[in-house]
Amino acid sequence: MTPYQCRCGQALFCENTRCSNCGRIQAFEPLRAAMLSLDTDDDGWVDGEGNRYRPCANRAEWRVCNGVVEADSNETLCSGCRLNRTIPSMSRGENVLRWKRLEAAKRRMIAGVSKLGLDVNSGGGMRFDFLEDKRSHPDVLEHFVTTGHKDGVITINVLEADEIQRVQQRELMGERYRTVLGHIRHEAGHFFYPQLVTDPGGFTALFGDPSADYDQALNRYYEEGPADGWEQRHISAYASSHPLEDWAECFAHFLHIEDTLETAICYGLSPDPAQDPRERINAWARFVIPLNELGRSLGQRDHYPFILTPVVIDKLLYVQAAVARAAGRS
């Protein structure tokens, strides 16, 4: 993501709540991927044009987002928080930080898809259930809440925002990468699938038959593991479980690449390949090498532990073309 600028000139990032230089209030508006730099006066918060705002109720009460609402609006929640159907139980103190991490990832995903011309409020609207199960909350009924998407509702297990639990899960599953942002971008891929995939033949040729029995495929994946040679055809082991999971993984990677490449370009770390889709993938493939090596130099895991084979690149280009078509930019 490109850094933003406060009205005083200080560089800002989309998670900032206040400018560390001049103290102005900062608010991120994910639907426009815009940062508002606000002065405080006796009547509240005001931008450079005189528009007035008040804090999102979740910001005022829990500090879990950095959103605002227009002062004369009937809404109490910002455009990001309005997508929540279920929030974590705030009777448990540790959930405040977990919820904040979930919101940060959600807002970044919304900004990413909005920049590409997609609308989270389309098709009935994207909704979020941040749920707990008995592993983190003995009083809830569910024994096991899995992250997933159904009929526009994205369910995320709140434990995914707990560092210890998520790393443990990553190691148990033998995964190379597991992040809250990755989950949310993956589930957004399921949400946008009906809008984006308008050529069933083209999809099936690349990803496989989307109508293949889903439960059977997932059971097989969890019992037997990924198919032999998955590395040649899929971006991740999980992507090999079913064509729709392959799509969601590729959609998430498309968002990872677009966001990170934009950051690299604006800091002068990668040449700008403009809008040429294949050149963007090539620029990314070149940038990943120093990106991972930088992490290793600091004793960190690889930031991007994936291999883009020719088949995987074709799938990413398919996602890019589908997004461009939907956004009217084809």
Report the residue from 5, 8, 96, 294 that binds Zn ion according to the rule CB under 5 A: 8
Report the residue from 35, 36, 38, 65 that binds Zn ion according to the rule CB under 5 A: 65
Interface residues for Zn ion in 149-208 (CB under 5 A)?
Answer: none
The distance of Cα 154 from the centroid of its chain, to the nearest Å, equals: 12
Give the tokens for residue 267.
Answer: 């800091």
Confirm or reject binding of residue 308 to Zn ion (CB under 5 A). Answer: no
Confirm or reject binding of residue 239 to Zn ion (CB under 5 A). Answer: no
Q: Residue 317's closest CA among 280, 277, 279, 284? A: 277
Tell me how far, at minimum, the Cβ of 173 lies from Zn ion, in Å: 14
Confirm or reject binding of residue 294 to Zn ion (CB under 5 A). Answer: no
Tell me how far, at minimum, the Cβ of 295 lies from Zn ion, in Å: 26
Confirm or reject binding of residue 5 to Zn ion (CB under 5 A). Answer: no
Report how far apart the first and last C-alpha atoms of the chain are (Å, whole number). Answer: 23
Looking at the Cβ atoms of 18 and 286, the one nearer to Zn ion is: 18
Confirm or reject binding of residue 58 to Zn ion (CB under 5 A). Answer: yes
Tell me how far, at minimum, the Cβ of 226 lies from Zn ion, in Å: 15
Tell me how far, at minimum, the Cβ of 8 lies from Zn ion, in Å: 3
Report the residue from 55, 67, 88, 243 that binds Zn ion according to the rule CB under 5 A: 67
Q: Please report, for the chain, how many H helices and E strands are present, in that order.
A: 10, 11
DSSP string, 106-171: HHHHHHHHHHTT--TTSTT--EEEEE--TTT-TTSS-S-PPPEEETTEEEEEGGGGSHHHHHHHHH
Tell me how far, at minimum, the Cβ of 6 lies from Zn ion, in Å: 3
Cα gap 200→56, rounded to integer Å: 41
Q: Is the dihedral of CA 302, 304, 305, 310 positive or negative?
A: negative
Confirm or reject binding of residue 56 to Zn ion (CB under 5 A). Answer: yes
Looking at the Cβ atoms of 82 and 286, the one nearer to Zn ion is: 82
Report the residue from 5, 11, 21, 61 that binds Zn ion according to the rule CB under 5 A: 21
Residue located via tokens 């995320």: 156
Report the residue from 4, 6, 53, 99 that binds Zn ion according to the rule CB under 5 A: 6
Local structure of residue 1 (DSSP, 8 states):
-
Tell me how far, at minimum, the Cβ of 167 lies from Zn ion, in Å: 21
Confirm or reject binding of residue 19 to Zn ion (CB under 5 A). Answer: yes
Cα gap 171→329, rounded to integer Å: 41
Confirm or reject binding of residue 22 to Zn ion (CB under 5 A). Answer: yes
3-class SS of residue 315: helix
Interface positions with Zn ion (CB under 5 A)? 6, 8, 10, 19, 21-22, 24, 56, 58, 65, 67, 78, 81, 245, 248
